[in-house]
């Protein structure tokens, strides 16, 4: 046989072999099999041993490592023992329930613990059973495990004062004094003026009232005029009190801070006056108390709470889904591993495409039901085919 004829025959044999391999699998997106780049099967000069080295794959109901079928399973191999908090490392081995201080997760088949950031607690012994056993306001673990406050005059305190932000440290920062388990500014704090025991009288013992003002602590001395919230003494005269209102376009949050054209002075969500809004944003009110309102600048094309118009919310509860604002219209986005196969928002994303062999990876993508092929992580499971007298059959 000529070289040309041998080459042509090899190509025909390889074509039939490739079709046979893919015909044995239900899907080219196979779990654990890298399909790109396409393999080069044999060269023109390769011998028959090259073809015998190829591996064929068939559908299987065997679970891949780390996955299993539990008594509570709905589908075969639908439990990930490495990440399922209800079956962590084995069926029925549930991690503890989350609390106000602790959050539990299954990591590599072992229950792990983390402390909530706002709980002011720490897990310093590394034991899951007793949770977050340490407090962040402790001389032995001041803000972090092992951070010790050894100076008896500098105990572990929350240095943030009235903001209660949880800024823990040994002793108070420069310019602050420690009183009543907190750090305060003795120069300007009306309750700790100069020391821990001096609280200023806002009337200064019956002194004349001043417009929009009261008497308080300035430079560690009581009896000084101070402005009420949202007012300022812009003319530096004490006779007329705090005459300037700081929620105006001329004095927005500070004396002389004028808002540019197209913007107005409003209260943001932190109740701080500022000029709102830039040309590409719209001001939407969030809260009102009488004539006083606060709000924020939003993009009506993408803001979930103000989608297309102020007050139009996309926060509509849906099972296994989240709602987003897409160009001013609320749309439903399925959570990872879920799909809306019946095109009905009433039941959300009702299908588990990670595990459902009738909808594996996508709606309507069916695994091999005859072989009982499992669906894991959105892929129909395959394994190397068994060889029986030259006929490929599932193991």
DSSP state of 273: E
Residue 122: enclosing H or E segment and its boundaries?
Answer: strand 121-122
Q: Is the pLDDT of residue 38 over 50?
A: no
For the stretch 282-311, pLDDT in tens is 999 998 888 788 999 999 999 999 999 999
pLDDT of amino acid 216: 97
For the stretch 317-358, pLDDT in tens is 888 999 899 999 999 899 999 999 999 888 899 999 999 999
CB atoms inside a 10 Å sphere around CB 124:
18
CB atoms inside a 10 Å sphere around CB 40:
6
Q: Cα–Cα distances in Å, from 90 out to 81, 148, 306?
A: 6, 40, 45
For the stretch 382-392, pLDDT in tens is 999 876 434 44
Would you say the pTM of this structure is higher than 0.85?
Answer: no
As a whole number of angstroms, the distance between CA 186 and CA 94 comes to: 52
Q: Is the pLDDT of residue 73 over 90?
A: yes
pLDDT of amino acid 51: 52
């Amino acid at each position: 046989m000529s070289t040309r004829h041998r080459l042509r025959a090899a190509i025909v044999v390889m074509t039939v072999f490739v079709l046979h391999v893919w015909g044995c699998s239900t899907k080219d997106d196979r779990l654990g099999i890298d399909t790109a780049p396409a393999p080069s099967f044999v060269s023109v000069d390769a011998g028959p041993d090259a073809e015998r080295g190829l591996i064929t794959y068939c559908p299987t109901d065997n679970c891949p490592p780390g996955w299993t079928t539990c008594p509570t399973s709905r589908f075969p191999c639908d439990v990930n023992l490495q990440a399922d908090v209800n079956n962590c490392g084995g069926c029925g081995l549930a991690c503890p329930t989350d609390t106000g201080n602790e959050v539990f997760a299954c990591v590599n088949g072992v229950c792990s613990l983390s402390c909530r950031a706002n709980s002011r607690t720490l897990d310093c012994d590394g034991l899951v059973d007793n949770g977050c056993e340490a407090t962040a306001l402790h001389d032995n673990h001041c803000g972090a495990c092992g951070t010790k406050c050894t100076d008896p005059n500098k105990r572990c305190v929350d240095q943030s004062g009235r903001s209660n932000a949880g800024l823990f440290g040994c002793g108070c920062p420069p310019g602050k004094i420690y009183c009543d388990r907190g750090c305060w500014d003795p120069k300007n704090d009306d309750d700790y003026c100069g020391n821990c025991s001096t609280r200023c009288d806002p009337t200064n013992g019956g002194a004349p009232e001043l417009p929009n003002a009261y008497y308080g602590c300035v430079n560690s001395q009581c009896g000084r005029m101070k402005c009420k919230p949202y007012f300022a003494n812009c003319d530096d005269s004490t006779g007329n009190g705090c005459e300037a209102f700081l929620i105006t376009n001329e004095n927005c949050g500070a004396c002389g801070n004028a808002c540019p054209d197209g913007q107005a002075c409003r209260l943001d969500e932190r109740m701080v006056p500022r000029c709102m809004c830039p040309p590409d944003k719209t001001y939407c009110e969030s809260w009102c108390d009488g004539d006083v309102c606060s709000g924020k600048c939003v993009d009506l094309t993408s803001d979930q709470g103000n989608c297309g118009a102020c007050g139009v919310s996309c926060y509509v509860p849906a099972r296994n889904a989240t709602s987003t604002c897409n160009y001013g219209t609320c749309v439903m986005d399925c959570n990872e591993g879920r799909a809306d196969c019946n095109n009905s928002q009433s039941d959300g994303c009702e299908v588990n495409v990670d595990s459902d062999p009738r909808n594996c990876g996508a709606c309507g993508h069916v695994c091999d039901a005859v072989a009982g092929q499992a669906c894991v992580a959105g892929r129909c499971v395959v394994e190397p085919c068994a060889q029986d007298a030259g006929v490929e059959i599932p193991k």
